A and B are shown apart, each in its own frame.
Chain A
Amino acid sequence: MVKAVPRRPDSAPPLRSSGGALAAATGAAVITAVSVPALAMGALGVLSLAGALTFGVESAYAPGIALLAGSVVLAGVLGLTPPFLLAAAFLVLLAWDVGKHGFSIAREVGREPSTFRIEAVHGLSSTLVYAAGATLGYGIYAGVTGGRSVVALLALLVGSVALLFALQARK
């Protein structure tokens, strides 16, 4: 049985998924690096993700993503413009999804069989879905910045919150 050199634990996600997730996370950290605290949070998040992916510790993955999300929020509070914010959030979500998918592959399929097809299909689909979300956000942003109607904003607010809650798929 030929094993990859250097040997990674069996619970570590496949290399492609790990690489993709790390690249997305790094991108998000770079975009949100508008201040020292945000940069620190982002860098910590990326480090934590790298550790989780390398050593196959799934429980360390969510905290890393939370740190990255925190850096996105911090950047937003500090006034990062919405297009960048949307891009950063898009990348964080992608890292979260691809990484979790990688962990599920490691858990259920293991290392030996080729998992390229499902990784590719999943990566493409999640990119599409999240890109749709980001585009929607950007469209609204572009529309609202022209008009500046508070009532419109309020209506959109109520609408988005109510939709979010009503749409939650709960069995």
Chain B
Amino acid sequence: MSRARRGLLLVGLASGLVGVLLVASPGVARGVSLTGAARTAPVAVVGVAAAALAARSLLNALSGDAASDSGGKAATADAFPSPERRPQYDPSGAEFARRVNAIEWTDRRDAEPANRRELRDDLRGAATSVLSRGDGPSPSEVETRLRDGSWTDDPLASAFFAGDLVPSLSPSGYARALVRGEPPFARRARRAAAALSKRSGAGDVTPAPSADVRAAFGDEPAVRTSRYLPDGEESLERESATDRVHGVTAAALAVGGLGIVTLRPGLLLLALFGITVSGYARAVPTPSQAVAVERAVSDAEPAVGDEVEVTLSVRNVGDATLADLRLVDGVPPGLAVVDGSPKFATALRPGKRASVTYTVEAVRGDHAFDPALVVTRDALGVRKRETLVDTETTVSCRPPAKPLSGRAPARTTTRAGRSRSDAPGPGVEFHSVREYRPGDPPSRIDWRRKAKTGEFSTVAFHEHRRQRVLVVVDARTEAYVAWGGGGDSDSDGDGDGNGEPVVQQGVAAADALASRFRSAGVPVGLAALSPRSCRLPPGRGGDHHRRLREALVANPAFGWEPPDGEVDASAAVHEIHRRVRADTRVVFVSPLSDDASVTAARRFDAHGHPVSVLSPDPTARTHARGYESGYASLARERRLRRLRAAGIPASDWDPTEPLREVTRGGQSRATTSR
């Protein structure tokens, strides 16, 4: 307490005592009688002073709030942990929906509304590729159709390409748009995207955003307990006092001041509430955090899909009763709570114990529990202490190895080996016949043809080469797209955020691919295209294979939480390229949710690696599709086509189907595209 405040406290106490004394024995003050200004002035001065103090107190409280908000952790400071949900994964197309939502009324005032122009250019690209696909009009013809609007019967969709970036509307149309609250340009963009997806043959695509996207934009993100307190490991504890006390004090001062000025004793008395509350807040100690937390799981190594019961018990090991104890268990990001709640609240006398049980569903991965967050408050709730109590528990869920049957894909390295490749060269199996070139070995010249026609020709065979394979999983933030429809398969249908990232499908595919290459005797390695690095150079043997599968389960790069931070795809590819031999074949598993994934695949190609892309489709399970999901599918199709045009075999995989079928299909497509 500062000296000034201590002085004030003394004055207050002394004056209060004198007052009480005078009230108790009125005779003491009988000699002193005040009249006139001396009687009213002090009253007025104290009243005004009280009002001024109230204002100051209020200002202090407000600026205190502002300071705590700007403390750098604003995003996490307010959001209380909600670990029962999985992290919110963006549904596919969320990026596009964000761009459409970013179109504002005020854009129209800019000389060059850049975001509108970019949006239209992107949609125009999609339109060109969709319209020139089936009946195949030339790009200039498509351009004409876009301009005269004959490509669709939706007037709003056609107006998107035909009209201006800042649509000119009739006054009534403008008024209607104002009532709707959405800029006409954004509305047209949605309609155009929906019309295009309909044209491309996608089923029900509504021009409205899907429920998944609305939920993703509306819901608060799930916060892990370990991220709740600022600075992570540094501070496992935080004390704070609520502003409620300041509010009550300020109000009491103001009311007291008003009472003094208006000479209403009743109002003045109300100031006493302020004294009571402030005094209580001063006197009450910060509640103790002397609790012991224990966690038990019914099964530490469950199979995928098993339900695991978690029991969290807390005991008051201090000497004081905890009037208000709230507990939030640190459920790992991958485990979704299916029954019960990992939060609970109780009052605990010393030595007593309370516990809570909830059920989580096991999914692939090593899931280490975050520390449990214990919040204790005094009885009135003016002071609270938040503590992270670490009790280490890990649930580790490993799916059994399921090698895919079937022939390993025949794309190989340039070195001689045991595998039959698609490259023509020396060998035993017939591949093709071509014109003779000087230098071809005489043994491969087709002498019979020479005798018949007089021309030299060379027979090529399937060359036998050795394979090395690196499976690269795209696990960038952009690849953590929700594997569609996780929300509406729930019983209550409100999409409570237990979606699954499509990265997990990619990880499962990588696991299956690695097992298959292994059974074919091909050295296989693993890498993640992610800010969290994971690299395992190709190798062979049981130990190596076990390490690889372990990495797929336990490495944070393949975790359930999207990584923090960005990664430059080209640089990451270069980094991976430097660590493997240049002739290693790369199988790139990516949902192709953005253009950088295409860049990554092409960079592998540019570095000389034979590349193939396996792309799990994030919209495979989506039923109710909004315009954004339709656009995302269009964009993804274009990316697949771009890859194939660049000579990179790319297979589109619906993760609800077994992988085997697709890689076979991909294989045949790969051979035809070469």
Taking Cβ atoms with an 8 Å cutoff, the residues of A that contact B are 1, 3, 69, 72-73, 76-77, 79-82, 85-86, 89-90, 93, 96-97, 100-101, 104-105, 107-110, 112-115, 117-118, 121-122, 124-126, 129-130, 132-134, 136-138, 140-141, 143-144, 146-171
**Could you tell me if B12 and A104 are in contact, using CB atoms closer than 8 angstroms?**
no
Known: A69-B251, A109-B345, A129-B280. A118 touches B271 (CB 8 A): no
Flag whether B608 is at the interface (Cβ < 8 A): no
Complex CA distance for A101 and B242, rounded to whole angstroms: 11
**Could you tell me if B32 and A151 are in contact, using CB atoms closer than 8 angstroms?**
yes
Taking Cβ atoms with an 8 Å cutoff, the residues of B that contact A are 1, 5-6, 8-9, 11-20, 22-24, 26, 29, 32, 34, 39, 42-43, 46, 49-50, 53, 57, 60, 80, 240-241, 244-246, 248-249, 251-253, 255-256, 258-260, 262, 264-282, 323-326, 328, 339-341, 343-347, 356, 375, 379-382, 491-492
Residues of B within 8 A of A109 (CB): 326, 343-345
Q: Which of A76, A126, A155 contacts B259 (CB 8 A)?
A: A76
Known: A76-B259, A157-B260. A125 touches B380 (CB 8 A): yes
A129 to chain B, nearest CB (A): 5
**Could you tell me if B346 and A167 are in contact, using CB atoms closer than 8 angstroms?**
no
**Could you tell me if A73 and B255 are in contact, using CB atoms closer than 8 angstroms?**
yes
B272 to chain A, nearest CB (A): 4
Residues of A within 8 A of B13 (CB): 159, 163
**Could you tell me if A85 and B266 are in contact, using CB atoms closer than 8 angstroms?**
yes
B357 to chain A, nearest CB (A): 11
**Could you tell me if A86 and B269 are in contact, using CB atoms closer than 8 angstroms?**
yes
**Could you tell me if B266 and A82 are in contact, using CB atoms closer than 8 angstroms?**
yes
B20 to chain A, nearest CB (A): 7
**Could you tell me if B278 and A164 are in contact, using CB atoms closer than 8 angstroms?**
yes
A28 to chain B, nearest CB (A): 12
Residues of A within 8 A of B323 (CB): 118, 121-122, 125
A154-B43, A162-B12 known, 12 other contacts, Cβ within 8 Å: A1-B339, A76-B264, A108-B345, A125-B323, A129-B380, A141-B266, A159-B18, A162-B8, A163-B13, A164-B275, A165-B8, A165-B253
Q: Which of B270, B356, B379 contacts A85 (CB 8 A)?
A: B270
Residues of B within 8 A of A166 (CB): 1, 5-6, 8-9, 12
Residues of B within 8 A of A101 (CB): 381
Q: Which of A113, A130, A160 contacts B341 (CB 8 A)?
A: A113
Q: Select from chain A the residue with minimum beta-carbon distance to B50.
A: A161
**Could you tell me if B46 and A154 are in contact, using CB atoms closer than 8 angstroms?**
yes
Known: A134-B273, A155-B15. A169 touches B345 (CB 8 A): no
Residues of A within 8 A of B278 (CB): 163-164, 167-169
Complex CA distance for A105 and B277, rounded to whole angstroms: 21
Residues of B within 8 A of A143 (CB): 23-24
**Could you tell me if A89 and B270 are in contact, using CB atoms closer than 8 angstroms?**
yes
Residues of B within 8 A of A126 (CB): 379-380
**Could you tell me if B12 and A150 are in contact, using CB atoms closer than 8 angstroms?**
no
Known: A76-B264, A109-B326, A117-B345. A167 touches B279 (CB 8 A): yes
